[in-house]
Amino acid sequence: MADAYDFDLIVIGSGPAGQHAALEASKAHKRVALVEKKSVVGGVCVNAGAISSKALREAVLRLSGRRVEAVRGAPSAAKTGPTMWDFVSRIDEVVSHEIESTRRELRRHDITMLEAEASFADPHVLRLELANGQGTRKVSAAFVVIAVGTHSTTDLKVLFDGQSIFVSDDVLGQRTLPRTLAVVGAGLIGIEYACIYTALGVRVTILDKREQLLPFVDVEIIDCLREHLERSGATLRLGAEVAELATVTDGGERRVKVTLASGETIVCDKALYSVGRTGATDRLSLRAAGLAADARGRLAVDEHYRTSVPHIYAVGDVVGFPSLASTAMEQGRLAACHALGLDANRSPALFPYGIHTIPEISMVGKTEEQLKAEGVPYEVGIAEYTRVVRGQILGDGTGMLKLVFHRETKKLLSVHIIGEGACELVHIGQAVMAFGGTIDYFARTVFNYPTLAECYKTAALDGYSRLG
């Protein structure tokens, strides 16, 4: 690597994608710098996104009594008047542990940490606005990886105050829990928070202009989620476009008025605005690097995560779908390997998808709808959790595991799960798919008893029965 540069690789952003890009380069004994504008590492994933929201979900399930609801045989008696602060201490503990673990790992690999806001001075040079008013400096690198993540998309016509009308980044700062909540936008983040608030006894109305909920998920799984939400007291208004959000005074109380494009109005205590996320690229001075982001701040990349400028890569949420921490880590690793000419040891493109709704959803492989469109002859095998003893013990009446396999070869094509432990269970199917296995594996394998993993055997046998 040419010594003309300060570093072989500079990574902008310390989330999962940025961390793994930096670590991969460091393991190859390259000179690596990681630039993070915040005083803590981890990016949105740790501090406001995946980890903190999942820690909140778990705290809500435990502290609200939902984990034991099925055993009692009656709805949980959530404690009177809980606030978000009731859950923050546990979340802070998890987040603090993850931040310190990440710092230790980065130090151990001799990665130079730069607390600063970065922008491009030219394609190889970054201008750094150092933290705490320490001035500016410039650093150069042969390769740059942009891993700045995203921020909540907002609307200039909406007056966000962080309390009555707020975005997902504001959730942990909520002072009070509302009695009623409108969730505008039923994407991944919106639907996950809608489930959390519903579990706390908040009457939630979910609004989305799309007619289908999470269209990339198996329809049968989504039907189960929708039924569970409605049984839990949530109202889903799909095909409902929101025209205006505004705070109003109602009976001396500050409330939120939601006006739909149809003219209908809904008044609630608070509104969560969750219509997607925008790449945090607006302060990077991309033009100086010869780059341009799209209308949502995202960067286009090729199969190696390389932008239109060959030595600049982009990874993680800033490149768009699937916007998962797990895939972002792999993207960061692959980008660093390609940039530095390292053997990537690329794994099969079988990324699992985890959605932390209540109940949670996970999947790997294509949906039935996709296979139909491709003309693939397939069959399915289904196991409801109630058909295995462990499911009955847990009292999970919604849970279901679905195997999709080739009708002629019986090769496993995809796995779709809803219910307790879905995001863990999916990896069994992922492993079998990675090695080109068939559903015969599940039918002949002995699983621990009683476990939810037995659903794989039950679903495989169900699949055989459907073959005739």
Give me the CATH code for the 359-467 domain, please. Answer: 3.30.390.30
**Which of the four pLDDT bands, split at 50, 70 and 90, describes residue 74?**
very low
Rounded Cα distance, 207 and 182, in Å: 7
Q: Provide the residue ranges of all domains of the chain, joining segments of one domain with +.
A: 7-152+278-340, 165-275, 359-467
CB 182 within 8 A of CB 246: no
Which 3-state string (H, E, C) describes 399-458?
Answer: CEEEEEEECCCCEEEEEEEECCCHHHHHHHHHHHHHCCCECHHHHHCCCCCCCCCHHHHH
**Which of the four pLDDT bands, split at 50, 70 and 90, describes residue 45?**
very low
Q: What percent of the chain has pLDDT over 90?
A: 71
Q: Do domains 7-152+278-340 and 359-467 have the same CATH topology?
A: no
Mean pLDDT confidence for 302-321: 96
Q: Does the pLDDT at position 72 exceed 60?
A: no
What does the pLDDT look like over 328-382, one tens digit per residue?
Answer: 999 999 999 999 999 887 766 788 999 999 999 999 999 999 999 999 999 999 9
Of 8-17, 41-50, 376-385, 409-418, least confident by mean pLDDT is: 41-50
The average confidence (pLDDT) of the chain is 89
What does the pLDDT look like over 150-206, one tens digit per residue?
Answer: 989 988 889 999 999 999 988 888 888 899 999 999 999 999 999 999 998 999 999
**Which of the four pLDDT bands, split at 50, 70 and 90, describes residue 90?**
low
Q: 165-275: which CATH architecture?
A: 3-Layer(bba) Sandwich (3.50)
Q: Which two tokens stand for residue 212?
A: 């289908």
| CA nearest neighbour of 414 among 401, 425, 429, 428 | 429
Q: What percent of the chain has pLDDT over 70?
A: 89
pTM here? 0.86
Q: 7-152+278-340: which CATH architecture?
A: 3-Layer(bba) Sandwich (3.50)
